[in-house]
Amino acid sequence: MDIARSEVFEAGTPIACRSCQARHGVVCGALSNAQLKELNRHSLRRKVEAGSEIIAQGSESSFYSNIMRGVVKLCKMMPDGRQQIVGLQFAPDFVGRPFVRESTLSAEAATDAEICVFPRNLLDRMIAETPELQRSLHDQALNELDAAREWMLTLGRRTAEEKVASLLHLIATHAEPQTAISAAFDLPLSRAEIADFLGLTIETVSRQMTRLRKRGVILIENSRHIVVPDMDELEKISA
Amino acid sequence: MDIARSEVFEAGTPIACRSCQARHGVVCGALSNAQLKELNRHSLRRKVEAGSEIIAQGSESSFYSNIMRGVVKLCKMMPDGRQQIVGLQFAPDFVGRPFVRESTLSAEAATDAEICVFPRNLLDRMIAETPELQRSLHDQALNELDAAREWMLTLGRRTAEEKVASLLHLIATHAEPQTAISAAFDLPLSRAEIADFLGLTIETVSRQMTRLRKRGVILIENSRHIVVPDMDELEKISA
DNA sequence: ATCTGAGTTTGATCTGGATCAAATCGCGAC
DNA sequence: GTCGCGATTTGATCCAGATCAAACTCAGAT
């Protein structure tokens, strides 16, 4: 994302964060009206298209964001190019690493997305002044930690088939009201990204998807759109 | 650990947490004297021996702890018995999951250890009342999240050799002042536990250790005691 | 001193997923 | 429409790490 390089908070037309309206992000949901007003003066609503980088691994980031729409992937890259996706974030998640300037991972829009961008210094001050905000962010951090550890189990101990089923289950759960028996959703990730999330190759991902399709566990309407007739079946396979 | 079942805070001789003395845990380091005094009335210093469970996966835990000495492993177990260690904790770490009663993982002493045990209700209240404590715990959660994501890269994308080197590097870094070029330390984990941390089998762990020994990267004084003549060498291998 | 058994190492073989290679599918540009 | 090209699927083969099997080690127990 170009915001990272250019001086964001000088250029562009700041749009009030109160435009979040129906759905507040993690940050603005925890602030008083006075704080919101101040934040609004310095925050920016931003559309980012799929594939653009929001935070670069190894860089010092001068801002945080809230995801208002879309999916963001968190990636770690090794010097030789091997890559691992270490998390997916959805609205209204907070993006950034409080208390530490340099990021050990990159954040990239997996789909077209909209984010609210906040200057780091201002938000750091608000976190220090606002226990409720700290609590919200603490809460999100703990939820991400639970999710990361669950995924460690997937990476370390599940088979390729179970990994693919786990991913489909994860996406379906975030896309659907999760009450329904069946689900239909768009994958926010390409096969290559799925492979990088599951610690597999694209070929193995493709073969496992085909296997699930042939068994009737999923329908592949096209490579990005999936229908799951029976979520219990999928959950059983993901073990 | 029997504490989980019996009513801890009635039996036993409570020992003042101020006995932490030189080294405070994450919790007591962030409290005022008045709060410490109240906490002392309800906390308990406890010795736990290697292998005993501090928190059981799927159970409701009514207490938190601080590790004062020793190493604690966090495990996730699948219904069919497959297991993954998802983190190691060292003094003065906090153990427990604030805000959620039921644990999705188990915490078990990997070595003989000493912990300070706090009643959940009391500490929850103190967290709510004490921004500095919330900040400490938030900080630890974020550090654990960084570590978990780093380990996801290890699980998903590193080879068996790189995994073993990564583990040795991790342990060495926590055991030694990390300034020295060489390191000597006791492994807090058995081969089986190392396998469960790295997503490998014990045979593969053993073979990779032997390979590293034959290459002169490590000396195995006995299966638990390791010497690393050149930490840079080890770090290079862990990639 | 010898026995015992858990933990570890070593060896032989197998296999799930990687790698290498070639279609096939879509979709935007012309 | 059809050309070009990246994304995906499918096929053939390979190999890192799993599995199966057997020693070996060593700290107690007798």
* Confidence category of residue A176, pLDDT binned at 50, 70, 90: confident
Beta carbons of B157 and A99 less than 8 Å apart? no
Instruction: Please compute the mean of the pLDDT values over residues A190-200 and round it to a whole number.
Output: 98
Instruction: Please compute the mean of the pLDDT values over residues A174-190 and round it to a whole number.
Output: 87
Residue B4's contacts (CB-CB under 8 Å, 6 or more residues apart) are B53, B54, B55, B56, B59, B61
Q: Is B18 exposed, middle or buried (0-12, 13-18, 19+ CB in 10 A)?
A: middle
Q: Which amino acid is at B161?
A: E
Q: Which two tokens stand for residue A171?
A: 């996406």
Residue A122's contacts (CB-CB under 8 Å, 6 or more residues apart) are A38, A39, A42
Which letter does DSSP use for residue B186 in this model? E
Q: Which CATH class is domain A158-238?
A: mainly alpha
Tell me how far apart the alpha carbons of residues B190 and A57 are, in angstroms, rounded to a whole number: 34
Partner residue opposite A239 with nearest CB, options B78, B135, B145: B78
Partner B contacted by A180 (CB < 8 A): no
Q: What is the mean pLDDT of chain A?
A: 89
CA distance A88 to chain B (A): 12
Cα angle: B39, vertex B44, B50; to 5 degrees: 140
pLDDT at position B20:
55
CA distance A125 to chain B (A): 13
pLDDT at position B17:
54
Answer whether any strand C atom is within 7 A of the Cβ of A98: no
pLDDT at position B29:
79
* Confidence category of residue B95, pLDDT binned at 50, 70, 90: very high
Which letter does DSSP use for residue B192 in this model? H
pLDDT at position B213:
97
**Which residue carries 């490998």 as its tokens?**
B200
Q: What is the mean pLDDT of chain B?
A: 89
pLDDT at position B15:
42
Predicted confidence (pLDDT) per residue in A24-57, tens digit: 678 877 888 888 888 888 888 899 999 999 999 9
Tell me how far apart the alpha carbons of residues B31 and B186 are, in angstroms, rounded to a whole number: 33
- pLDDT of B3 higher than 50: no
CATH of A2-154, one of 2.60.120.10, 3.10.20.30, 2.40.50.100, 3.40.50.300: 2.60.120.10
Partner B contacted by A144 (CB < 8 A): yes
Using an 8 Å CB-CB cutoff, list chain A residues near B156.
84, 155, 196, 198-199
Q: Which of residues 13-72 of A touch B (CB under 8 A)?
A: none
Percentage of residues in chain B having pLDDT higher than 70: 89
Beta carbons of B149 and A86 less than 8 Å apart? yes
Q: Are A113 and A72 in contact (CB under 8 A)?
A: yes
pLDDT at position A40:
85
Beta carbons of B105 and A141 less than 8 Å apart? no
Which of the residues A75, A86, A149, A151 would you substitute to probe the B interface, choosing the one with the greatest number of B C-beta atoms within 10 Å? Answer: A149
- pLDDT of B197 higher than 60: yes
Instruction: Please compute the mean of the pLDDT values over residues B92-104 and round it to a whole number.
Output: 94
**Which residue carries 């497959």 as its tokens?**
B82
Q: Which two tokens stand for residue A81?
A: 């190019």
Q: Are B184 and B228 in contact (CB under 8 A)?
A: yes
- pLDDT of A11 higher than 50: no
pLDDT at position A239:
86
Beta carbons of B139 and A99 less than 8 Å apart? yes
**Which residue carries 């045990």 as its tokens?**
B117
Predicted confidence (pLDDT) per residue in B5-24, tens digit: 333 443 343 444 554 544 56
Which nucleotide has its C1' atom closest to residue B203's CA? C9
Q: Give the residue from B93, B104, B39 showing the smallest Cα distance to B66.
A: B93
* Confidence category of residue A14, pLDDT binned at 50, 70, 90: very low
Residue A31's DSSP bridge partners are none
A209-218, A228-237, B17-26: range with lowest mean pLDDT: B17-26
Tell me how far apart the alpha carbons of residues A134 and B55 are, in angstroms, rounded to a whole number: 26
CA distance A198 to chain B (A): 7
Predicted confidence (pLDDT) per residue in B58-76, tens digit: 999 999 999 999 999 999 9
Domain spans, chain A: 2-154, 158-238
Answer whether any strand C atom is within 7 A of the Cβ of B212: no
Closest alpha carbon within chain A to B84: A153
Answer whether any strand D atom is within 7 A of the Cβ of B160: yes
Q: How far is the CA of A50 from the C1' of D28 (A)?
A: 63
Could you give the 3-state DSSP secondary structure of residue B64?
Answer: strand
Taking CB atoms and an 8 Å cut-off, how many pairs form between chains A and B?
108
pLDDT at position B105:
96
Partner residue opposite B155 with nearest CB, options A82, A141, A155: A155
pLDDT at position B41:
87
- pLDDT of B108 higher than 80: yes
Partner residue opposite B142 with nearest CB, options A99, A146, A239: A99
pLDDT at position A9:
41
Instruction: Please compute the mean of the pLDDT values over residues A102-110 and round it to a whole number.
Output: 96
Closest alpha carbon within chain B to A83: B157
* Phi, psi for A2 (deg, rounded to 5): -65, -25
Choice between B129 and B32, residue whose per-residue pLDDT is larger: B129
* Confidence category of residue A23, pLDDT binned at 50, 70, 90: low
Closest alpha carbon within chain A to B97: A142
- SS3 letters across chain A: CHHHCCCCCCCCCCCCHHHHCCCCCCCHHHCCHHHHHHHHHHCEEEEECCCCEEECCCCECCEEEEEEECEEEEEEECCCCCEEEEEEEECCCEECCCCCCECCCEEEECCCEEEEEEEHHHHHHHHHHCHHHHHHHHHHHHHHHHHHHHHHHHHHHCCHHHHHHHHHHHHHHHHCCCCCCCEEEECCCCHHHHHHHHCCCHHHHHHHHHHHHHCCCCEEEECCEEEECCHHHHHHHHC
Answer whether any strand C atom is within 7 A of the Cβ of B207: yes
Beta carbons of B149 and A97 less than 8 Å apart? no
Q: Are B108 and B73 in contact (CB under 8 A)?
A: yes
Percentage of residues in chain B having pLDDT higher than 90: 77
pLDDT at position A36:
85
Partner B contacted by A100 (CB < 8 A): yes
